[in-house]
Amino acid sequence: MEKIPEIMRAMVLEKPGEPLRLKEVTVPKPAENQVLVKIISCGVCRTDLHIVDGELNKPKLPLIIGHEIVGTVITTGKNVSNIKAGDIVGIPWLGYTCGHCKYCKSGKENLCENAKFTGYTIDGGYAEYTVADERYCFLLPEDHSGPNAAPLLCAGLIGYRSYSMAEPSAVNFGLYGFGAAASILIQVAIHQGKKVFAFTRPGDTVSQQFALSLGAFWAGDTSQLPPEKLDAAIIFAPAGDLVPTALAVTDKGGSVICGGIHMSDIPSFPYDILWGERIIRSVANLTRKDGHDFFELLKHTPVKTETEFFKLEDANLALNKLRKGDINGAAVLIP
Ligand SMILES: [Zn+2]
Ligand SMILES: [Zn+2]
């Protein structure tokens, strides 16, 4: 059995608004239902930025952020039955649910009143090791068990949940904000015969080219009109003013789906652009079913993640590049 050190390196958030600090902390021990995981990689998500910037309420402090974790199980705690040492697992944002609130009981555990979230209310993956409840880990398929798989755990999953909220008959999909989530989702959508329209920040021709290289039917900036009406628009950028922008180019009966956990205020807009049974909705967190469905889908859907690797100690640099929109695809930390 692999020797487990007592101390590990971790990038720790002590106070929102301050950069993460590299610290030596105790390697956690797996409690009941938990596994100890040696981290192979951890994705850098926009939600991490919102936590570091203090835009999300009440994080655990001090906190190890990071919720797109790929790792090898080293040991298991009591009562762990489905996962064993040596397995490669993915650890997502949803870290625990109570199982008995009205949301849990109605198949909406993503809305659980007592949920815990990886890298937010429990420690996450900007470290060398972490513990996770086995019931919320996903056994990763062999094709997606390397460091490149990290963005699938949130960008991929939340993108997929957002996509699933559109009418099944929707063909024309607008993706607003062409980062990690959109770059994964476009591959799924095109494989299913959808037409993708990619919208980026004005002037971001690099992301537009990236979208076209992945098969987008059209790419432009958010001030431009797409050549066809959209059946569904998915907004990954945290900019509330995109809601009326997207609504204005969405067809009757279509949906505007907000995939981010935090967004700036939505400006008022004329009722006309909502009329015609258009829908605006948000997507919150994920359920374990989303994860199982998504990884099942990946068995017969070719998806490649575009990643830029950073050392663990360069986490602040990775976050800053993400903030500026300087990452093509996803930033991923390698401890
Ligand atoms: Zn619950
Ligand atoms: Zn995320």
**pLDDT tens-place string over residues 254-277:** 999 999 999 999 999 999 999 999
The one-letter amino acid code at 309 reads F
CA of 114 to the centre of ligand 1 (A): 5
Sign for the pseudo-dihedral over CA of 100, 106, 107, 109: negative
pTM for this prediction:
0.95
CA of 111 to the centre of ligand 1 (A): 7
pLDDT in tens, 106-144: 999 999 999 999 999 999 999 999 999 999 999 999 999
CA of 93 to the centre of ligand 2 (A): 7
CA of 275 to the centre of ligand 2 (A): 32
pLDDT grade for 3, boundaries at 50, 70 and 90: confident
Domains observed in the chain: 7-153+305-334 (3.90.180.10), 157-282 (3.40.50.720)
The closest ligand to the CA of 284 turns out to be 2
CA of 253 to the centre of ligand 1 (A): 32
CA of 3 to the centre of ligand 2 (A): 31
The closest ligand to the CA of 124 turns out to be 2
CA of 43 to the centre of ligand 2 (A): 8
Q: Strands 94-96 and 63-64: what pairing?
A: unpaired
The closest ligand to the CA of 66 turns out to be 2
pLDDT grade for 1, boundaries at 50, 70 and 90: low
The closest ligand to the CA of 104 turns out to be 1
